[in-house]
Amino acid sequence: MAPIAVGDSIPDGKLLHHDEYDQLAEVSIHSLAAGKKVVLFGIPGCFTPVCSVKHVPGFIEKAEDFKAKGVSEIILIAVNDPYVMKAFAKTYPETKFVKFLADGSAKYIRALGLDLDLSEKGMGVRSRRFAAVVDDLKVKTINLENGGEFSVSSAEDLLKAL
């Protein structure tokens, strides 16, 4: 499947996270994004070097800048289980504006056409690294990385598009 592109509508999908009461909960992407401007970004794996040290911290640090540009929410999607996502979120002191959502089976990432087979590296199917601005379910900007690169999907890169 071709990757989702500018002008496309994002599909709906059910992802898991731990809610404000620390309970496992299912959430629909459309319920988070319909009628709003949101940032969606995906990482190949929690606790991996680039994801942990550069990609995710950039969105946490720039959250107020995104908010000032009309972004309602920043949504992180990773092909990990919700318990790994919970542990990963706890490694960052300020995550209130970033939702950490688990796509354990890669079903949603596949629906976006952004799956990446890292089986040769022992990681199975994961998400390509990407960052997108979605306005009322329509992709306005999407920055996709190739392989293990981190050159176009940072928070700074996405802010430039706003």
Q: What angle do CA 131, 135, 136 make, to 5 degrees?
A: 130
**What is the residue extent of each domain of the chain?**
14-161
| Residues classed as catalytic | 51
14-161 CATH: 3.40.30.10
Residues paired with residue 102 on neighbouring β-strands, in sequence order = 16, 78
* CA quadruple 16, 17, 19, 21: dihedral sign: positive
- Whether pLDDT at 123 is above 80: no
Q: Is 160 left (phi over 0), alpha (psi -120 to 50) or beta?
A: alpha
- Whether the pLDDT of residue 148 is over 90: the answer is no
Cβ atoms 91, 58 nearer than 8 A? no
Q: Is the pLDDT of residue 147 over 80?
A: no
Q: What is the pLDDT of residues 95-120, one digit of tens each?
A: 778 999 999 999 999 999 999 887 78
Q: 138-154: string of b/e by CB count within 10 Å (b at 16+)?
A: ebebbbbbeeeebeebb
Residue 52 per-residue DSSP state: I
Confidence of residue 126 (pLDDT cuts 50, 70, 90): confident
Task: Output the pTM of the full model.
Answer: 0.94
Dig out the tokens for 79 from the structure.
């092909």
By C-alpha distance, which of 156, 133, 153, 158 is closest to 36? 133
Q: Is 151 helix (H, G, I), strand (E, B) or coil?
A: coil
β 98-102/73-78 pair status: parallel
Q: Which two tokens stand for residue 94?
A: 């300020």
